[in-house]
Chains A and B, each alone.
Chain A
């Protein structure tokens, strides 16, 4: 079988059966005309190399056969924006589910010991990986079917601009926000360094029974970092209040504060426990339960604080590096 016939047979295998013979006959004639044209140019029968070059120029069998297909794309330009929009939402939901699953696993398996984070990370990655693969596959198949059936999404035509969501007005920080932050941070700092006291965390339950809550050693370790962070927060808000910093610099300072929160939060989170519970007139089992409950609450709070700091830092980073609007 010469190269022409091998080439045509390769195309034929990729064509729909009811049209195959017809299309191949036409392509055979087209190739023969090309060959005649080339032979007239060169004045001799085509060599094997010239025939190869001619067929290469005609196109790969997959490409040639593909052009006879009824559908030239999996998802067309009308459906593609909707497809991408749906994908983004679903992947975001899966990512959030992975995060929640990870935190839940952390609490269930590691208890108050965040050092044992491996099962939580594994669970989160599994949920993210499997969820994304399945979701992308299923959504792609659904949109490919819609495309193949030529389904027209009515909502793209029958929409009303009045139904569009209102643009949320970004709340700007006011002088009150800065003053409130400075006051709260100052009170916290004074309490932290021992200048003021709010009374001992001591609860009398009933006659002969009491509970004492004491901070675990980790808080001593992060004493100075917390002082620094608190002072930094006060200074940044003071600078903003007096208008001493421009917007971009303010975003940069906010970003630094959030990074500091993440660092200090990470140090604290790595500790075994954060509060020690002692008491009198109570069984050890009850004291242990109370301590466990308080520490789990603190662990969840710390995780949330770090997540919020990460999100805020990302927003600050975006504000810092976004292109300035042209004048």
Chain B
């Protein structure tokens, strides 16, 4: 039976959802604002919708994993995000988990 396109898309999004948080945390080891963060992720092959990215940044900040500040750049006020010390610790833990999952899956796939 052929796999329906929408089922594939649904499962693909589910698979990516968890890893996007890891990608965002990793990309914010360096300070960035939303637009440049999205570009970095897109250039790395991880397109993320802005409608999902900005609320995610706010949620991660409220969880203490990111810090942010408003600054002017190119004559515009921008909110810059950066990984917090707690976020850095969590990123290391999540990265280790990711590598373990990846290794396990590689043996199965």
- The binding surface of chain A is classed by DSSP as helix
State in angstroms the CA–CA spacing of A32 and B79 once bound together.
13
State in angstroms the CA–CA spacing of A26 and B52 once bound together.
13
Q: Please indicate the chain B residues that have their CB under 8 angstroms from the CB of A64 in the complex.
A: 51
Is there an interface contact between A29 and B35, defined as CB atoms closer than 8 Å? yes
A68 CB within 8 Å of chain B: yes
State in angstroms the CA–CA spacing of A68 and B59 once bound together.
8
Is there an interface contact between A68 and B34, defined as CB atoms closer than 8 Å? no
B54 CB within 8 Å of chain A: yes
Q: Please indicate the chain B residues that have their CB under 8 angstroms from the CB of A30 in the complex.
A: 34-35, 50, 54
Interface string of B24-39 (1 = CB under 8 A from A): 0000000001110000
Is there an interface contact between B51 and A59, defined as CB atoms closer than 8 Å? yes
Number of A-B contacts (CB under 8 A): 38
Is there an interface contact between B77 and A25, defined as CB atoms closer than 8 Å? yes
State in angstroms the CA–CA spacing of A32 and B54 once bound together.
15
A267 CB within 8 Å of chain B: no
Is there an interface contact between A29 and B50, defined as CB atoms closer than 8 Å? no
| Count of interface residues, chain A, beta-carbon cutoff 8 Å | 16
Q: Please indicate the chain A residues that have their CB under 8 angstroms from the CB of B78 in the complex.
A: 29
Known contacts A26-B79, A29-B78, A68-B58; A58 and B35 CB within 8 A of each other = no
Known contacts A23-B58, A68-B58; A29 and B51 CB within 8 A of each other = no
Q: Which of B54, B70, B76 contacts A27 (CB 8 A)?
A: B54
State in angstroms the CA–CA spacing of A32 and B34 once bound together.
12
**Could you list 26 A-B pairs, sorted by A, with CB under 8 Å?**
A23-B54, A25-B70, A26-B54, A26-B79, A29-B34, A29-B35, A29-B77, A29-B78, A29-B79, A30-B34, A30-B50, A30-B54, A32-B76, A33-B34, A34-B50, A58-B51, A59-B49, A59-B51, A63-B51, A64-B51, A67-B51, A67-B52, A67-B54, A67-B55, A68-B55, A68-B58
